[in-house]
Amino acid sequence: MIFKGRIFKIPFPFTDRSGQKARPALALSEPDGYGDVEFLFITTKQPSASGAVIELTADAFAGDSLPFPSVLHLEKKYILSRDVIIKELAVVTDSFLEKVLREQTLLATRKHYEVRHKENNPFRPGDRIPYAGRVFDERELTTLVDSSLDFWLTTGRYAEKFEKEFAEFIGVRHCSLVNSGSSANLLAFMALTSPKLGDRRIRPGDEVITVAAAFPTTVAPIIQYGAVPVFVDVSFPTYNIDSTQLENAISDKTKAIMLAHTLGNPFDISAVKSFCDRHNLWLIEDNCDALGSRYLFNSSTSQHLNGSPSEPINGSYNYTGTFGHIGTSSFYPPHHMTMGEGGAVYTNDMTLKRLVDSFRDWGRDCWCVSGRDNSCGDRFTQQFGELPYGYDHKYVYSHFGYNLKVTDMQAAIGCAQLEKLPGFIEARKRNWRQLREGLADLGEKFILPEATENSDPSWFGFLLTVQEGAGFTRNKIVGQLESKGIQTRMLFAGNLIKHPCFDEMRKSGEGYRVIPNSSFQQLDASTLLPITDRIMRDTFWIGLFPGMREGMLEYMTSTIREFCSR
């Protein structure tokens, strides 16, 4: 006799086999070695039904249904002897049984979150205050487990859902998920090297304007491809590119500008974008630290690709990452939202979307999504290069690409996080304001951060630069904060050119250019980027992520103020 998936009449109480008191129950298993079976009890549908239930609708049954409206109680699980069964009542479909088992697993996952992960402890001075971290609840765990039960190990239904909803949120037409923010930067740059872009493509030896006060993977793709980064200084108190230096940086080899919005603070998009439009340059926005930041665009120009304007973006605040030709995001745990590892590339241009996907997916020419064939209808009817006519389009390669896809399990976490992103963004803004107000009178000790004009930043951290006459060094205050449990970070590379990865290029004097900051009198080659060097020596930042518990921000503020009052 088969038990699993069948509904039986079970005596209740379990010792009464008279049939006068009985309930229907769904068998979840076959009898074990002791003859015991797992059952879930079914009750007549009641308006006051509480707890985790699934309604037994007509499509749940493989044959005749129960003669009364019923609900299955996921938490009323019993191990009973096969001998207590009175009679069989109905059979459910395999898909319904799978749904029941899945929901039971997710119910157990929610309970696991409550026991293992839910944070209930109040903050006490001396507790570790991280600069950033994951902020999640049972929804991330349940979507992660839900995707794992599909055992679809590459990109799938959750990835498609995330790409669609993220594009809608940020305000672009196309989003491509990738395995990290660094991969996103790589793909954004490599897309612009495609021969399919004709004369506008970036070639080895072409120049790309950027800054050295950055995270390395904003610059690494330029160097790895054989293009030449051209470094321009930044300015206080926004810590972004000094746009007045751009004209000094351009040459007949310049093809693009690739910049990050520093720690969530947008760079001067109006100035940078207008410069790109005048000189027909590509603009890549590294938005990895600025998801949710907004900017009021004040220019009559609009984005162009080969002369075709995109939708107008003037006159209202738009999210950063949407002003350039391509934007990128990171979903590493410290960032505004997380998938663990993960990133995204987004654009309004289908040509660039196709190029990003090609480089992401092994360099193939085909644009079918994973697990689908012949979306174009011409899989075996095209001519490519010197291949035989009709060669399978899924195995035609138009670029030297990579495999940088995300897994569906990561994307599932992202879907749950995306629902919370607006709240995360507001928390970051609120926490930044509290720190800024709490330290507002310490201008003699620090260069305090300021938002770029016409911007509404979604801050990644709170930047502080020790003033030259402060009476202490960065190392002194950082050491004090760390000793009190307050985690600190440098502004990433500080000055990337001074790092060991640049040793050979510095010695040879080849592979990059530095534009002297014309606002300062230069004394020697080591001061070509004086503000960047100042950041390298004197700047650090502290956290303000949404996971800050009550009392943490006040403790950071009081600790800094106490140190400065010595």
**Which residue from 81, 86, 71, 78 is spatially nearest to 40, judged by alpha carbons?**
78
- Phi/psi at 244 (nearest 5 deg)? -70, -15
Residue type at position 311? E
The pLDDT value given to residue 318:
96
Mean pLDDT of 224-236: 97
The pLDDT value given to residue 119:
84
The pLDDT value given to residue 381:
87
The pLDDT value given to residue 129:
97
The pLDDT value given to residue 312:
42
**Residue 439 pLDDT class (50, 70, 90 cuts):** very high
CA distance 212 to 515: 11
CB 132 within 8 A of CB 462: no
The pLDDT value given to residue 369:
74
CA distance 370 to 260: 31
Domain 6-116: top CATH class:
mainly beta
Using CB atoms within 10 Å of the CB of residue 283, give its burial: 0 to 12 exposed, 13 to 18 middle, 19+ buried: buried
pLDDT tens string 342-381: 999 999 999 999 999 999 999 999 877 776 777 777 899 8
Just list the catalytic residues: 335
Say yes or no to pLDDT of 201 above 60.
Answer: yes
Residues 6+ apart with CB under 8 A from 207: 227, 228, 229, 230, 251, 253, 254, 255, 513
For 272-317, the DSSP string reads HHHHHHHHT-EEEEE-TT-TT-EEE---S---EETTEE-S--TTSE
53-76 burial code (b ≥16 CB/10 A, e <16) = bbebeeebbeeebbeeebbbbbeb
CB 141 within 8 A of CB 109: yes
pLDDT tens string 4-55: 999 999 987 766 556 568 889 999 999 999 999 999 999 987 766 567 899 9
Domain ranges of the chain: 6-116, 370-397, 421-564
Other beta carbons within 10 angstroms of residue 160's beta carbon come to 15
Mean pLDDT of 141-156: 95
Please report, rounded to a whole number, the percentage of residues in the chain having pLDDT higher than 90.
83
Q: What is the DSSP letter of 523?
A: -
For 416-467, the DSSP string reads HHHHHHHHHHHHHHHHHHHHHHHTTT-TTTEE---PPTTEE---S-EEEEE-
CB 262 within 8 A of CB 289: yes
**Residue 303 pLDDT class (50, 70, 90 cuts):** very low
Using CB atoms within 10 Å of the CB of residue 107, give its burial: 0 to 12 exposed, 13 to 18 middle, 19+ buried: middle
- Identify the three-state secondary structure at position 503: helix
CB 40 within 8 A of CB 122: no
237 preceded by a cis bond (ω within 30 of 0): yes
Cα within 13 Å of Cα(20), Cβ side: 3
The pLDDT value given to residue 368:
75
> Containing H/E element for 100?
helix 94-116
pLDDT tens string 163-192: 999 999 999 999 999 999 999 999 999 999
Strands 513-514 and 228-231: parallel
How far the first Cα of the chain sits from its last, in Å, is 82
Mean pLDDT of 203-225: 97
The pLDDT value given to residue 315:
64
The pLDDT value given to residue 47:
61
Identify any residues that bridge with 256 across adjacent strands, giving them in sequence order: 208, 282
**Which residue from 198, 416, 160, 185 is spatially nearest to 288, judged by alpha carbons?**
185
The lowest-confidence range among 66-75, 139-148, 278-287 is 66-75
Please report, rounded to a whole number, the percentage of residues in the chain having pLDDT higher than 70.
94
The pLDDT value given to residue 309:
35
pLDDT tens string 545-560: 999 999 999 999 999 9
The structure tokens listed for 220 are: 């690494």
The pLDDT value given to residue 305:
33
**Residue 306 pLDDT class (50, 70, 90 cuts):** very low
Residues 6+ apart with CB under 8 A from 202: 189, 192, 193, 208, 225, 227, 255, 256, 282
pLDDT tens string 456-486: 999 999 999 999 999 999 999 999 999 999 9
> Containing H/E element for 87?
strand 87-91
13 preceded by a cis bond (ω within 30 of 0): yes
CA distance 43 to 145: 28
Residues 6+ apart with CB under 8 A from 553: 431, 434, 435, 438, 544
CB 193 within 8 A of CB 359: no
Residue labelled with tokens 């300021």? 450
CB 36 within 8 A of CB 82: yes
Say yes or no to pLDDT of 302 above 50.
Answer: no
Angle (nearest 5°) at CA 356 between 287 and 281: 65
Among left, alpha and beta (phi > 0; psi -120 to 50; other), residue 227 is beta
Say yes or no to pLDDT of 398 above 50.
Answer: yes
CA distance 496 to 260: 14
Residue type at position 15? T
Helix 157-170 and helix 408-438: axis angle, to 10°?
A: 30
Average pLDDT, the chain: 92
**Which residue from 61, 67, 28, 27 is spatially nearest to 45, judged by alpha carbons?**
67
Identify any residues that bridge with 284 across adjacent strands, giving them in sequence order: 258, 326
pLDDT tens string 92-108: 999 999 999 999 999 99
pLDDT tens string 233-282: 999 999 999 999 999 999 999 999 999 999 999 999 999 999 999 999 99
pLDDT tens string 489-501: 999 999 999 999 9
Listed as own residue / partner, the contacts of 463-469 with beta carbons closer than 8 Å and 24 or more positions apart are 463/239, 463/263, 463/491, 463/539, 463/540, 463/541, 464/439, 464/539, 464/540, 464/541, 464/542, 464/560, 465/236, 465/534, 465/535, 465/538, 465/539, 466/538, 466/539, 468/538, 469/444
Mean pLDDT of 387-416: 95
Using CB atoms within 10 Å of the CB of residue 256, give its burial: 0 to 12 exposed, 13 to 18 middle, 19+ buried: buried
The pLDDT value given to residue 307:
33
Q: What is the pTM of this model?
A: 0.92
CA distance 408 to 174: 18
What CATH architecture applies to the domain 421-564? Alpha-Beta Complex (3.90)
